[in-house]
Structure 1
Amino acid sequence: MSSSSLSPTFADLGVAVEITEALAERGITRTFAIQELTLPLALQGTDIIGQARTGMGKTLGFGVPLLDRVFDSADVAEIDGTPRALVVVPTRELAIQVGEDLTQAAKKLPLRLVTIYGGRPYEEQINALESGIDVVVGTPGRLLDLYQRGCLVLEHVAVLVLDEADEMLDLGFLPDIESILEALTHPHQTMLFSATMPGPIVNLARSFLTKPVHIRAEEPDAAATHTTTEQVIFQAHRMDKEAVLARIMQCRGRGRCIVFTRTKRSAQLVAEGLATRGFRVGAVHGNMGQPARERSLEAFREATIDILVATDVAARGIDIDDVTHVINYQTPEDPMTYVHRIGRTGRAGHSGTAITLVGYDELNKWSAINSELDLNMPEPPQWFSNSPELFAALNIPEGAQDRIAAPRRVFGGRSPADRSHSPARRSSSRSRSRRRTRR
C-alpha cells in the first residue's frame, strides 16, 4: 500500500502528543474513517452529528478530541475538580468500555475520570465526584439522579457526548437525556453519535445542537452490516441446537466468540450446556448482579474464557476488536438487533463470521430481517449437527465431537452437576413425572 493511501495518524491531525503516545502504546496510530472526519472539527469545538455503524471507531472519534480539549483548549476553563466533559451512553456495559478506552487514552494526562451507572453503590460514586473529577462517563438514569441530588455539577461542562443515541431512544431514556441537556444552559460543545437517525433523535439534535455538522463515515446506501463479516444462516431444530453449537465451537480459526440468546434463562442454559461439553464459557444476562457481569466481561477480555453467552443487554457493551465469531442461537427480534449483535465481530478492519440458527418457528422473524437488510437469504437451508454442509460452510474438522473435554464450571457460575437442578430442568422433570403418573 502506498503512503498516500494510508489514513492520517492522530499526530497528523494535531492531537496532543500525550494522547498520541498513549494510543501508540496500544498499537493505535492511524485513524479510521469516522475519526479522520470527526477530529479536525471536534478539536475546534464544532457541534457534530456522527453517524456510523458499531465497530467503526466512534469511541476514539469523540474521546480523543474530548480529552484533548479538556486538557489544553483555550476555550475550556482550567480543570478545578468539577466535570469539564460528560459522556452519556445507554448501557452499563458500554459505560465501562468507554470509560476504560478513555482512561487508557488519557494515561499520560493529568485528568481524573469516573464511570457512573446503576447497580453500583451511590456512596462510591458520590465520593469520587466529591474528590474531584474532570471527565464523567455514565448512563442517563444514574447521571440524572446524581445531578438532581446536587452531587453531579454540570455548570462547567464544556464538552457533552451522546453516544448510541438511537439505543437510548429504544431503551426509553429520551426524557432523561432531555433533562440533562436542559441543565446545560451555558455554551458548550455537543457531539451526538448514532448508528441510525430516527425522527426523535433528529428533533433532539435540532433542539439542542448549534449548527451541527453531520458526518457519515460511509456512503448513504452502504449495507447495514460490515463487509468484513461473513454471514452464515441456516435452519436448526430446537433439540439439535446445542449439538450444532458444540460443533461450531470447534471450527478452524475460532478465537473469542459471543453467543446471543433471546432470554436470560436461555443464556444460562446454553452456557451450562457448553461448560458441560468442556468449553471455557461465561455468561452475561439480567439475572446476574452487576459485579458478576463485570467479572465475566473482564474474563472474556483477558481470554480467561473464550466464549461469552449473552442476552442483548451486552450487545452494545462489548468493544473487543478480535471477536472472530458471533452466533445468534435464537433469531433476533428485529433487523436492528441483528445488526447490533453481529457488529461485535468484523470490527476495526478484522474479519469475522456471524452465524444465525433459525428455529423452524422463527422463519417469520428471519423473513423480516432478511427483507429489511436485503440479505438475499429468504429460505435458509436446513442443517443438522451431522450435516456435511455445516462442516464445510464453517470449516469444522471432520472429527469434531459433541464434547471436547471434561465438564467445567460456567465462569463465576454453577458447577456442571448443578445443571440438572436448574429451575427450567426441574420443571421439565416434574412435567415428565406427572405424565408418567397419569399413565
Structure 2
Amino acid sequence: MQHLLDFPRKKSGPPRILILTPTRELAMQVADHARELAKHTHLDIATITGGVAYMNHAEVFSENQDIVVATTGRLLQYIKEENFDCRAVETLILDEADRMLDMGFAQDIETIAGETRWRKQTMLFSATLEGDAIKDFAERLLEEPVEVSANPSTRERKKIHQWYYRADDIEHKTKLLVNLLQQPEATRAIVFVRKRERVHELANWLREAGINTCWLEGEMVQAKRNEAIKRLTDGRVNVLIATDVAARGIDIPDVSHVFNFDMPRTADTYLHRIGRTGRAGKKGTAISLVEAHDHLLLGKIGRYIEEPLKARVIDELRPTTRAPSEKLTGKPSKKVLAKRAQKKKDEKEKPRVKKRHRDTKNIGKRRKPSAAGTPSASSDE
C-alpha cells in the first residue's frame, strides 16, 4: 500500500495489486482489512468472487481500482472473457497458497501468473512450506525468492491449551464430546470432522443430547453458509460442526474451544484447526478425541509442534480399553536410532574411493588377445 501511495499513477486504470485467496470468505476478510488500512487514502479496493452476479462486478472493470482481492475461478473466467485487464498488475500476492494447492487450484494460479507476466513482484504466503508440492510450486512461480519465516513465540503458542481424551469407539467419543460441550467454559466451539456425512450424523447425535448446533459443509450455497456463521456469532447456538474444506477462510471471533472429533490427516491441518481459537490475545483450548487408530498421528502431531499432547480423563467416562503401546507412536526406538547413528558413522569413516569419469564409462566387453599377437617363448641351447 505504501508503494501505491508513494508512486501514484497519473490516470485511473486497472488494478496494480492482485491478491488471490482460496475462498470467498477469506477474500472478503482481506478486502475488509485492506479498506480499514486505506481508510484515509485515495486507494480503491474491490473483490471478485464466485456466488456474485456478473452485474455486481461490472464496476470493477469500468472504474479505477488499485487493489483487487479475488478467488481464482471467477477471476480466470473474466480473464478469458477479456473483461479483466492484467497488464497493469505490479504485484501478485498468493494468500494461503498451501490451501489453494490442497483445493486443486495450482493450474489456475499458474495461468493467472502467466497473464500477469509484466509484474515486478510476487509474494506467496503459506502456513507451512513443508512438503515437495508447495516447494515445487514456489520454485515454478518465484524467481530467486527470499524466504521469511514468522514463527509464533512460545508465549503465543502457550495461549492455546492442548490435550486429548482416549475413546473406545464412536459412541464413547460422542459421550465425551457432549460432556465437554456442556461445561460452562465452552462458550463458543468449533467441532471438526473429516467427512461431510459425519457432519449431519454428529449434528443429530448432539441434538438428541439437547445441544443445538449449526454446521458447514462443502456443497452449501453461500447464503446458507452466511446464515450458519451468523447463528453462531449472534449467540443463537454456540457449537459449529465443520469439515476442513468447509471451514477454510471463515473468521469467527471469540472461539473458546476447538474439538477434533475426527483427527486431521496431517499435523499441518491440526495447526490450521487449533488456530481458530486463542486469537486477539485471548486464551483458547484445543481438545482431541482419540481412538486407538489415531495414536500414530498423535505422535506425529506432538513432534511437529514440538510439544507432546497430554492425556486427560473424565472419571465417569473412563475408557475401558488399554492405551496402545508407546511403540505405536511412530517414533523410532532407541535401538533403531542407535543402529542408524552407527551406520552413518561407519559411512563417514569409510575411505572414499576416487571415481574418475573414464572409469565409469561403458567400455564394452574386452577382447581376448589373439594368438598371433602373443610373443613365443625362446630358449638358448
TM-score normalized by structure 1?
A: 0.63
User: CA offset at residue 194 of structure 1?
Assistant: 1.1
- 1:387 matched to 2:317: yes
| Equivalent residue in structure 2 for 1:338, among 255, 270, 278 | 270
Match of 2:58 in 1: 127
Q: 1:214 to 1:121 in 2, by over 3 A?
A: same
Match of 2:151 in 1: 218
Match of 1:95 in 2: 27
* Contact map agreement 1:244 1:385 (CA 8 A) in 2: no
Letter in 2 for 1:234: Y
Q: 1:302 to 1:135 in 2, by over 3 A?
A: farther
Letter in 1 for 2:265: E
Q: 1:204 to 1:242 in 2, by over 3 A?
A: closer
User: CA offset at residue 356 of structure 1?
Assistant: 0.5
Any idea what SS the aligned residue of 1:127 has?
Answer: helix
| Alpha-carbon distance between aligned partners in 2 of 1:112 and 1:369, rounded to the nearest angstrom | 43
* Contact map agreement 1:331 1:359 (CA 8 A) in 2: no
Match of 1:312 in 2: 244
Spell out, residue by residue over 1:144-198, the C-alpha distance to the aligned partner (whole angstroms, 9 max, x if none): 2221111222111233211111222222222211111111122433222112224
| Alpha-carbon distance between aligned partners in 2 of 1:330 and 1:373, rounded to the nearest angstrom | 19
User: CA offset at residue 276 of structure 1?
Assistant: 4.6
Letter in 2 for 1:386: E
Letter in 2 for 1:113: I
| Alpha-carbon distance between aligned partners in 1 of 2:113 and 2:44, rounded to the nearest angstrom | 23
Match of 2:9 in 1: 77
Match of 1:8 in 2: none
User: CA offset at residue 239 of structure 1?
Assistant: 0.8
| Alpha-carbon distance between aligned partners in 2 of 1:235 and 1:315, rounded to the nearest angstrom | 25
Q: 1:315 to 1:110 in 2, by over 3 A?
A: same
| Alpha-carbon distance between aligned partners in 2 of 1:241 and 1:290, rounded to the nearest angstrom | 31
- 1:326 matched to 2:237: no
**Unpaired segments ≥5 residues, structure 1:** 1-65, 390-439
* Contact map agreement 2:49 2:71 (CA 8 A) in 1: yes
* Contact map agreement 1:91 1:313 (CA 8 A) in 2: no
* Contact map agreement 1:257 1:326 (CA 8 A) in 2: yes
Letter in 1 for 2:147: H
Any idea what SS the aligned residue of 1:260 has?
Answer: strand
- 1:233 matched to 2:164: yes
User: CA offset at residue 355 of structure 1?
Assistant: 0.5
Q: 299-308 vs 161-170, which deviates more?
A: 299-308
* Contact map agreement 1:165 1:192 (CA 8 A) in 2: yes
User: CA offset at residue 210 of structure 1?
Assistant: 5.3
Q: 185-194 vs 102-111, which deviates more?
A: 102-111
User: CA offset at residue 267 of structure 1?
Assistant: 1.4
| Alpha-carbon distance between aligned partners in 2 of 1:289 and 1:320, rounded to the nearest angstrom | 19
Spell out, residue by residue over 1:234-273, the C-alpha distance to the aligned partner (whole angstroms, 9 max, x if none): 1123113333222212324333211111111211232344
Q: 1:366 to 1:288 in 2, by over 3 A?
A: same
- 1:170 matched to 2:102: yes
Figure out how many residues of one structure are paired with residues of the other and give that number. Answer: 315
Letter in 2 for 1:229: I
| Alpha-carbon distance between aligned partners in 2 of 1:388 and 1:215, rounded to the nearest angstrom | 45
Any idea what SS the aligned residue of 2:269 has?
Answer: helix
TM-score normalized by structure 2?
A: 0.72
Within a 5 Å distance, the mapping from 1:272-287 to structure 2 comes to 272-287=204-219
Match of 2:352 in 1: none
Spell out, residue by residue over 1:116-146, the C-alpha distance to the aligned partner (whole angstroms, 9 max, x if none): 333x145245424234243221222222222
Q: 252-261 vs 124-133, which deviates more?
A: 124-133
**Unpaired segments ≥5 residues, structure 2:** 320-381
Letter in 2 for 1:233: Y
| Alpha-carbon distance between aligned partners in 2 of 1:286 and 1:385, rounded to the nearest angstrom | 37
Any idea what SS the aligned residue of 1:323 has?
Answer: coil
RMSD across aligned C-alpha pairs, in angstroms? 3.0
Q: 1:168 to 1:234 in 2, by over 3 A?
A: same
Q: 1:337 to 1:204 in 2, by over 3 A?
A: closer
| Equivalent residue in structure 1 for 2:192, among 241, 260, 264 | 260
Q: 1:206 to 1:366 in 2, by over 3 A?
A: closer
Structure exhibiting the larger radius of gyration computed from Cα positions: 2
Spell out, residue by residue over 1:336-363, the C-alpha distance to the aligned partner (whole angstroms, 9 max, x if none): 1111111111224321100011134433
Bigger relative CO (Cα 8 Å, ≥ 6 apart): 1
* Contact map agreement 1:325 1:354 (CA 8 A) in 2: yes
| Alpha-carbon distance between aligned partners in 1 of 2:36 and 2:199, rounded to the nearest angstrom | 31
Within a 5 Å distance, the mapping from 1:151-190 to structure 2 comes to 151-190=83-122
Percentage identity across aligned positions? 35
| Alpha-carbon distance between aligned partners in 2 of 1:315 and 1:385, rounded to the nearest angstrom | 33
Match of 1:354 in 2: 286
Match of 1:138 in 2: 70
| Alpha-carbon distance between aligned partners in 2 of 1:158 and 1:245, rounded to the nearest angstrom | 50
